[in-house]
Amino acid sequence: MTSATAGGTAPVPPARTRKSVTGTRRTVVALFLLPALVLLGALVVYPIGYSVVRSFYDQQGKGFAGFDNYKALFTDDGIRTALKNNIIWVVFAPTVATALGLVFAVLTERVRWGTAFKLVVFMPMAISMLAAGIIFRLVYDQDPGKGVANAVWVGVHDTFAPSSAFPKAHPGRQSPLEAENGGFITREAVHTGQSVNVPLVGVAPDQMPGGAKKAVQAASEPGRITGTAWQDFTRGKGVGRLGQVDPGELGYPGMRIEAVKDGKVVDTAKVGDDGTFSLPGTTDGARLRLPASNFKEPYNGVDWLGPSLVTPAIIGSYVWMWAGFAMVLIAAGLAGVPRELLEAARVDGANEWQVFRRVTVPLLAPVLAVVAVTLMINVLKVFDLVFIIAPGSSQDDANVLALELYRKGFSEDQPGIASAIAVFLLLLVIPVMLFNVRRLRREVRR
């Protein structure tokens, strides 16, 4: 082919086929991608398609059920509870994990041992969900002697409101005491110059306070009321006298004694290590009362895995694992923040809180969004932690969609409903994934 020019005709080069940027032919590219596409189709596309089709059939897989399985998602109590809990997870777990990651990332920039701290916070990411579930099942154990959470909680509680050392104490046979409002009171009024015996039983010898000493019979004093509160029990058959202080019997140190007249407390006394106590003459004619506070049961902590707290408790274990992930991503974004902007804000008179709120956080907004959205996708699929941590008695209260899918598909043999739950979860995840992909593309363009 030729074309006319001022000096004559010139040949036109033949059209070329467009090559890839790397010079690789499309056929070669297709051959390299084929194994990946086959695996993608076999492990992702086919299961998704099969689940969609299966969700429209009955539990036997033979009869067409239409949208009945999807209706069950909003009528079945277990699935509705799971959906409610998933909403709680999506709202709180990513928010708390991202917020903690932001705080850790900002603060560790200002300390020398920041790298070591980041390593410690990120370390839970190396633990599997199964192992983390087992760890936190022990952490949340009801027994303060086993569960770390209750050990700390009980320790703090007992610092401000200590429990009684004599929760099982009670009057024995032929006792001068009678029950009143959880405590005990003398049947008759007492008078000055009188020594009153207040015998109790019910405390095992190995449960007596360490400061308890051998009980002493209190001597009577003119113008005062004295007495002894002690463990009226001596080991051995036929040993000891009922209602009287015997050698080897221990006092009740720290027990509170109230003198009550006309329903009002006029004075109080505290029992010594040897069980003795003394009240002034103004209490003459009063009845002696041992208030219920003397017999308060030991505080046993919080039922972390009970119906009301099991979901927040499991979310706490999730945050423990994933706050490190959020911290590392946010720290990477923080490293790219221009320091000139931060210094300019400080020069203009902004304090550190204002710099953080008005400069650092807005600049990190794209990274925070990516972290939060990634965690949202992750919590929609949470299964292991709930399955391991929640005990059988409260697993229904901690139920989530992924766990309900497992229960319907395997425990209750309802594959149609299980497939509908799987499709519903996919529909929930897709918008979040698309949002994340679009944001990442925008960041790449910048």
Per-residue confidence (pLDDT) for residue 437, from 0 to 100: 78
Per-residue confidence (pLDDT) for residue 317, from 0 to 100: 95
Per-residue confidence (pLDDT) for residue 397, from 0 to 100: 93
Quick one: tokens of 311?
């979901």
Strand positions, DSSP E, 195-283: 195-200, 225-231, 256-261, 264-270, 276-279
Amino acid, single-letter form, for residue 399: N
Per-residue confidence (pLDDT) for residue 23, from 0 to 100: 56
Q: Are 417 and 408 in contact (CB under 8 A)?
A: yes
Q: Are 151 and 145 in contact (CB under 8 A)?
A: yes
Q: What is the pLDDT along the chain (446 residues), one digit of tens a residue?
A: 454 444 555 565 555 555 555 556 888 888 888 999 999 999 888 888 988 898 888 877 778 888 888 888 888 888 899 999 999 999 999 999 999 999 999 988 878 888 888 889 999 988 888 999 999 999 999 888 889 999 999 988 888 877 788 888 999 888 899 999 889 999 999 999 999 999 999 888 888 888 899 999 999 999 999 999 999 886 655 566 888 888 889 999 999 999 999 889 999 999 999 999 999 999 999 999 999 988 888 888 899 999 999 999 999 999 999 999 999 999 998 888 888 888 898 888 888 889 888 899 999 988 898 899 889 989 988 999 999 999 988 999 999 999 998 988 887 778 888 889 989 988 888 888 888 778 777 766 76
State the CB neighbour count (10 A cutoff) for residue 149: 20
Q: Are 257 and 290 in contact (CB under 8 A)?
A: yes
Strand positions, DSSP E, 276-333: 276-279, 287-290
Amino acid, single-letter form, for residue 390: A
Query: By three-state DSSP, how is residue 94 classified?
Result: helix
Per-residue confidence (pLDDT) for residue 258, from 0 to 100: 95
Query: By three-state DSSP, how is residue 9 classified?
Result: strand
Per-residue confidence (pLDDT) for residue 390, from 0 to 100: 93
Q: What is the DSSP letter of 177?
A: E
Residues 231-257 have pLDDT tens digits of 988 665 556 688 888 888 999 999 999
Contacts of 321 (CB under 8 A, 6+ apart): 124, 125, 127, 129, 132
Per-residue confidence (pLDDT) for residue 436, from 0 to 100: 74
C-alpha distance from residue 423 to each of 52, 75, 84, 85, 383 (Å) = 6, 17, 17, 18, 16
CA separation for the pair 22, 348 (Å, rounded):
51
Q: What is the DSSP letter of 45?
A: I
Per-residue confidence (pLDDT) for residue 237, from 0 to 100: 52
Question: What Rg do the C-alpha atoms of the chain give, in angstroms?
Answer: 37
User: Taking the model in full, what pTM does it have?
Assistant: 0.75
Burial string for 187-196 (b: 16+ CB within 10 Å, else e) reads: eeebebeebb
Q: Up-side HSE of residue 125: CA atoms within 13 Å toward CB?
A: 13
Query: By three-state DSSP, how is residue 191 classified?
Result: coil
